[in-house]
Amino acid sequence: MQKKGSIGVFDSGLGGLTVIKELLTRLPGEQFVYLGDTAREPYGTKSKEAVLKFSLQDADFLNTFNLKALIIACNTASSYAYEILQKKYSFPVLNVIEPAVHDAVKQTKTGIIGVIGTYATIRSRAYEKEIACLDKNIKVFSCACPLFVPLVEEGWNNHKITVEIAKEYLNYFKDKHIDTLILGCTHYPLLKPLLAKIMGNSVTLIDTAISVVNQLNNLLEKYEAFSFINKPDNKYFVTDVTQNLVEVSRGFLGVDDIAWEKIDLDSFLMAHG
Ligand code: DGL
C-alpha cells in the first residue's frame, strides 16, 4: 500500500456518506474522492448483473484518481462486486461486509447473528457466506428492510411511520435469540437509536461504516501509509444532481457546503478508454 494518493469511496448514491462521515472523524489527514451513482440508485432492488456492471464503472472512474485504497461503501455493491474488484486492482479494495462480519463474530455470545439489508444484499447471502467462513457454527437470520432507504432519504428517521415499519420488520427476529444485529446497508446507521430501542439492550448493533473505517485504519497502520494532509482536497462526485441532493447529503453528513460535481460516467469512461 502506498502512502501517497486518495482513498476512493463509492456508493449507489448518498448513503456512502456514512462512511465519509466516519473517515472525516477518524482519518482527517487522508484525502478522499467520493462517487455517488445517484443517476442509477437504488442498487438494492436491481439484479446481480446490473449491480456488477455499475460497480465496475464506478470503480473505473475512481481509478483515474491516484488511489491508495478503494472502499466499496455500498452493501449491495459489496455483495456482488467485491471479488472482481479486489482482483482487478493492485491497491487494497475494502468491502463493508468482511469487517462488519469480523466485528459481529467477535461480539456474539449466543452465536446467533441477525442481518438486515436491501433485497439484493439479503438475496446474495453474502453475509451468511462470510460468517460461515469465520465460524460454521454461527446461526444467521436475515431480513430485507427495503423501506428504510426512502424513509431515511426523506429525513423520517424518527417519524411514527418509520417506528411502525421498523417494528414490523424487526418482529422477524422476535423468537430468534440474536444478540448481534448487522446493519447491512449504508442508510441504517441513521436509524441506530430507533433500531436499538426496538431491539433492546441485549442486542448489539454493528455499523458497517465504523467497521470498514477501522479496517482501513489497521491497514494504514500496518503499511505505515497514513497521510497527514493539512487541508485535504476532498472531492465529491454524483452521476446526477437529484432534486434533494443537498437535503439528503445534509442528513448524512450534517453539512450543507459540499461542492458536488456531476459526472457523466458513460462519456467519461468512453473518453478514458
Ligand atoms: N447503498 C445501498 C446499500 O448499502 C442502499 C441504497 C440502494 O439500494 O442503492 O445497500
Work out the average pLDDT over 55-60. 97
Tens digits of per-residue pLDDT, 212-235? 999 999 999 999 999 999 999 999
Catalytic annotation on 185?
yes
Measured distance CA(37)–CA(13) in Å, rounded? 5
Q: How far is the CA of 186 from the centre of ligand 1 (A)?
A: 6
Query: Which atom of ligand 1 is nearest to 96's Cα?
Result: 4
The active-site residue, picked from 74, 133, 143, 145, is: 74
Measured distance CA(71)–CA(170) in Å, rounded? 29
Work out the average pLDDT over 233-247. 95
Catalytic annotation on 145?
no
Measured distance CA(79)–CA(141) in Å, rounded? 17
pTM equals 0.97
Are 21 and 252 within 8 A, CB to CB? yes
Q: Please say if the pLDDT value at position 176 is more than 80.
A: yes
Q: How confident is the model at residue 255, as a pLDDT? A: 86
Q: How confident is the model at residue 42, as a pLDDT? A: 97
Query: Which atom of ligand 1 is nearest to 184's Cα?
Result: 4
Query: Which atom of ligand 1 is nearest to 77's Cα?
Result: 10
Q: How confident is the model at residue 178, as a pLDDT? A: 98
Q: How confident is the model at residue 257, as a pLDDT? A: 83
Measured distance CA(52)–CA(41) in Å, rounded? 13
Percent of the chain with pLDDT over 70: 100
Q: Please say if the pLDDT value at position 272 is more than 90.
A: no
From 53, 65, 5, 62, select the one nearest 31 (Cα to Cα).
5
| Average pLDDT of the chain to the nearest whole number | 96
Q: Please say if the pLDDT value at position 256 is more than 90.
A: no
Q: How confident is the model at residue 101, as a pLDDT? A: 98
Q: Please say if the pLDDT value at position 166 is more than 80.
A: yes
Q: Cβ atoms within 10 A of the Cβ of 260, count? A: 17
Tens digits of per-residue pLDDT, 113-158? 999 999 999 999 999 999 999 999 999 999 999 999 999 999 999 9
Q: Is 188 in the pocket of ligand 1 (CB under 6 A)?
A: no
Name the helix (H) or strand (E) containing 125.
none
